[in-house]
Chain A
Amino acid sequence: GNSVTQMEGPVTLSEEAFLTINCTYTATGYPSLFWYVQYPGEGLQLLLKATKADDKGSNKGFEATYRKETTSFHLEKGSVQVSDSAVYFCALFYNQGGKLIFGQGTELSVKP
C-alpha cells in the first residue's frame, strides 16, 4: 500500500546550521508530495508542495525536490532559526483518493 517514512527525531541543531529531514515514500502512480509543519499546540500548516517528478517546492527558505527515481522528498534549509523548532510531516496525496497519507513526523529543535 501507499506509505511515507521519515527519519526519526528528535533532530537537534544549533542556529544557522544546515537542515536535512529525509522522507521516502511508497506509492503507485503519481502522487503529489507535501511538507506540513506543526508548531507546539497548533494544527498543521502547509510548508511546501510538489506535484510531479523533478518539481522543487520552496517556502520560507525551505526546499524539497520530488525525486521519482529514489522515491524521496527530502526537506532542506540552509540556515535554521530557533523559530523553526516544530514537528515536520511529509505526506502524499492522490487527487482521486482525496486523502493525505502522513509520515510519523520529525521533531526539530534549534538551539541559540
Chain B
Amino acid sequence: DAGVTQSPTHLIKTRGQQVTLRCSPKSGHDTVSWYQQALGQGPQFIFQYYEEEERQRGNFPDRFSGHQFPNYSSELNVNALLLGDSALYLCASSEETGGLAKNIQYFGAGTRLSVL
C-alpha cells in the first residue's frame, strides 16, 4: 500500500517565479492538507482540500493556492516566489467521516523548495 507521495523531491527557483508541487494521498484517503516547514521550525498549516474544495486556510497570502482533483490528488501553487518561501512543503492525507476529519494525518516526505 503506497503511502503519501510527493513530487518533486527538490526544487530550485528564483524570486518572482511560480512553482507547482504535487501530492498523491494514501489509498482510501479523501482529504489533503498542506504544511510549510521552515528550517528549524514546526510545520505551519497552509490549507486543506476535501471534495475538490478548499475547506480551511491558515495564515498564508493569496500567492499560495491549491487544487484537488477527482482522484483526490492535490497541487500546491505558489506565485511570485519570495526568498522567505524557501522551506520543506509537506502534504498530509486523512479520511473524512461523518462530516469530521479523522484525527490521524499521514505525511509524505516533502518537497524541499529553495528560492534564490
Contact = CB atoms under 8 A, between A and B. Distances in A.
Q: Determine the main DSSP class of B at the interface with A.
A: strand
Contacts of B103: 32, 49, 51, 93, 95
Contacts of A102: 42-44
Main secondary structure of the interface of A (DSSP, over half): strand
A105 B100 CA distance: 27
Contacts of B107: 36, 43-45
B56 A98 contact: yes
Interface residues of B, number: 29
Nearest to A101: B45
Interface in A50-65: 51
B116 interface: no
A89 B58 CA distance: 19
A102 B106 CA distance: 14
A69 interface: no
Contacts of A44: 43, 90, 92, 107
Given A93-B103, A95-B101, A104 B41 contact: yes
A102 B108 CA distance: 16
Contact of B55 (A36, A49, A98): A98
B12 interface: no
A89 B48 contact: no
Classify chain A: how many residues form its interface, as a range: 20 to 34
B90 A96 contact: no
Interface in B18-56: 31, 33, 35, 40-45, 48, 55-56
B106 A99 contact: no
A100 B43 contact: yes
A104 B37 CA distance: 10
B33 A98 contact: yes
Contact of B56 (A36, A51, A89, A97): A97
Given A42-B109, A44-B43, A102-B42, A49 B48 contact: no
Interface of B: 4, 6, 31, 33, 35, 40-45, 48, 55-56, 58, 90, 92, 94, 100-110
